[in-house]
Chain A
Amino acid sequence: MIDFKDLCKEYGSISALRGVSLHVPKGEFFAYLGPNGAGKSTTLRILTGLTKMTSGEAYLNGFHIERDSLQAKRQCGLVPQTINLDQELTVYENLNLHGLLFRIPARERAGKIHELLDYIGLADRKGSVVSRLSGGMKRRLTIARALVHSPVILFLDEPTVGLDAGIRRRIWALIKKIQNNGTTIFLTTHYIEEAEFLAERVAFLDEGRIIAVDTPEALIARQGTWAIDRVVDDDIKTVYFKTREEATQYSAAREESFSLRRVNLEDAFLALTGKKVK
C-alpha cells in the first residue's frame, strides 16, 4: 500500500533523509518513531507531495508519487504536524472545501461531512468558526478533514503533540477506529507509549536512517523482558533480563535499592541508537 525505496532528501548541506526504504501492507497500523529532527515529517511531506525528494522512488497504492501525482494524492489523507485549518472559516466550510478540492460530488460530500462530524463528535459545532475551537477539537477536525475524500491511506504527523493525556487517548481511540474501517495508518511520533499502544509495526528512525523495523513486541524482546534501573554516579544504568527470576536474583546480590520494570520501546531504541527518543 505504501512503498518507498532509497528516499533521500537534502536541504542544502543538511541531509534530512539518507536513503529510507519501507513497505507497509494494506490495513496495517504503522508507526514511525524517532527523536525531533530524525526526518519523520520530511518523509511524510515527500509522500504527500508537499516536498520534493532529492532521489528515490515512492508509490501509494501503486501510484508513483511524481509521475502519477494527482492519483497518488487521491489515495491518501494527511494530518500535518502543524494544524492548518482555515481559522476564519467554519467547521463545515473547512470540510466542504476539502471535498471540493478532491472533487467529491455535492450530494455525496454533504453526506460524508455529516457522517464525519458525528464520527468525531463535532456535529453540534459545524457552524462554529474554527478559531473558537479547543486544541483537541481542532485536532479531531484536522483528522476528519483528511477523511472527507475517503482515502485508503491516512498519514498522521505527531497527531497528539501538545494535547493532555485525556484528549490524547480520545485521539488514539479515533485513529484505531479509522484503522478498523480498513484504512492503512502511517503515524509518526516521538512518544513511546503512542507507538507501543497503537502500532502493529514500528520503524525506528534516527538521523535520516531507518535503524530497525518490526513489531513492538519483537523490538522489545531483542532487549529482554525485565529491566532494572540503577543509579551509578550521576547516570542511570539499565540492566536487562529475560525473566523476572534472573532480575530478582541480580538485585538480591546487591545492597542498593533497585527499581524493577518491564522493558519498553525506549530501551530498544536506546540500545540501537545510543540515544533516547525524547
Chain B
Amino acid sequence: MYGWLAVYYRELLILKRRFPKMLASMSVSPLLYLIAFGYAMGKTVTIQGHTYMEFLIPGLVAMSSMTRAFGIGSEINISRFYWHIFEEFQAAPINNISYALGETLAGMTRAFFAVVLIILLGLLFGVVLRYDNPMFWLAIFLNSFVFSSLAVGLAMIVKSHADQAMLTSFVITPMAFLGGTFFPLSRLPVWAQNILYFVPLSHASKAIRAASFGEPVSLPSYLFLAGTGAAFFFMAVCFVNRARD
C-alpha cells in the first residue's frame, strides 16, 4: 500500500516546481468571471437574498475544484503518451490501488489550491463567507474526490491525448456551466432539473453554497457525492490494468 506515497510524492515535486506558473494560470478564469459577472453585472442582481457576487463565489469554488481535479487526467496522459513515465510505475512493485490513490490525491491537492485561490480573489472583492464551516470543506473534498477519481479512471482507458481533450470539452465544460455554478437550478425547467439532479456538480455547488452561507446543508447531496466518488474510484482501480497494452 505504500506505493501511493511514492506516486503522490512525485506529483507534489512536480507541483512544487510549477507552482508559481500554476497559480498564475489558475487565477485567470475565476478573476474574469468575478469581474464580468460578479462585479460588472452583479451590483443590481440579488439571488436568494445574496448579492450575485456572494452567489457566484461558491459556484466558482465548485467549478474550479471540479476542473482542477479533473485536470489530473491530462497530466497523466502527457506523462503516459509523451514522456512514458507511466511505464516507471507499471514496472514498479506497486498495486493498482496504490497507483490510483496516489494520482487521485494529487488531483485533489490541485483542487484544494484552486479553492484557496478563489477565496483569496473573493477577498479582493470584499466577499467573506463562512469558510470556517467544516461542511464547506467536506463538500469540496468530496467533489474533488469524485472528479479526480473519474479523471484517473478515464486516463487509463483513453488511447490518446486528443481523446482526453474531447472528454473535457463534452463532459466537463457543459457541467461547469450547468451544474448550478452561475445560476440556481430552480430557474431551469423541471425536466432539466431532473436530469441535472444526477450530475455530481449540481450537488456539490448546492452543498458548497449552503455551507458557505452558513445555511443547513442537505445530507443526501453529501451521500450522493461520496457514493459517486467511491464508484469512480473503484472504476479507476479496475482500469489501471487496462492500461497495459
Real binding pair: yes
16 residue pairs A–B, Cβ–Cβ below 8 Å: A11-B245, A50-B87, A50-B90, A50-B245, A69-B93, A70-B94, A73-B92, A78-B91, A84-B84, A88-B18, A89-B10, A97-B6, A97-B10, A100-B6, A101-B88, A102-B92
User: What is the total number of residues of chain B having a CB less than 8 Å from a CB of chain A?
Assistant: 25
Known: A49-B244, A89-B14. 15 other contacts (CB 8 A): A11-B245, A49-B90, A49-B91, A50-B245, A70-B94, A71-B93, A73-B92, A73-B93, A84-B85, A86-B83, A88-B17, A89-B13, A97-B10, A102-B92, A103-B3
Q: Is A80 an interface residue (CB 8 A)?
A: yes
Q: Mark A1-25, 1 if CB is under 8 A from B, else 0.
A: 0000000000100000000000000
Residues of A within 8 A of B (CB): 11, 48-52, 69-71, 73-74, 78, 80, 82-89, 93, 97-98, 100-103
Total residue contacts A-B, CB cutoff 8 A: 71
* A101–B9 alpha-carbon span in the complex (Å): 10
* Interface status of B95 (Cβ within 8 A of chain A): yes
A98 touches B88 (CB 8 A): yes
Q: Do B95 and A70 touch (CB < 8 A)?
A: yes
Query: Smallest distance from the beta carbon of A215 to chain B beta carbons, Å?
Result: 30
The minimal Cβ–Cβ distance linking B94 to chain A, given in whole angstroms, is 6
B84 engages A86 (CB within 8 Å): no
> How far does the alpha carbon of A21 sit from the alpha carbon of B92 in the complex, in Å?
25
Q: Which of B192-206 contact A (CB under 8 A)?
A: none
Known A-B contacts A71-B93, A73-B93, A101-B3; the reply to A86 vs B244 at CB < 8 A is: no
Chain B residues within an 8 Å CB radius of A89 = 10, 13-14, 17
Let me know if A93 and B13 touch, CB within 8 A. yes
Contact (Cβ within 8 A) A88 B88: no
Kindly state the separation between the CA atoms of A82 and B10 in the bound complex, as whole angstroms: 20
A84-B93 contact given A11-B245, A97-B9, CB 8 Å threshold = no
A52 to B89, CA, bound (A): 15
